[in-house]
Amino acid sequence: MAEIRCYVDSCEHWGNQMCQAQAIEVRSEDEQKTPKRSDHTMCATFKPPGT
């Protein structure tokens, strides 16, 4: 898998400035709109710690 740099340190999959998940899923922030900027997308694999 590609290395994924991530700064979301509140995610269960985060470690050492990188995503440690085997795979991630990225979706449009709003399914009714076509993303035009990176902040119109979101990581659906995000998981709060301890859940």
Q: Which residues bind ligand SF4 (CB under 6 A)?
A: 4, 6, 8, 11, 13-14, 19, 21, 24, 43, 45-46
Confirm if 24 and 3 have CB atoms less than 8 A apart: no
> Which CB atom, from 34 or from 48, has the smaller least distance to ligand SF4?
48
Residue 2: CB minimum distance to ligand SF4, A = 11
Confirm if 49 and 10 have CB atoms less than 8 A apart: yes
Residue 47: CB minimum distance to ligand SF4, A = 7
Interatomic CA distance for residues 37 and 21, integer angstroms: 24
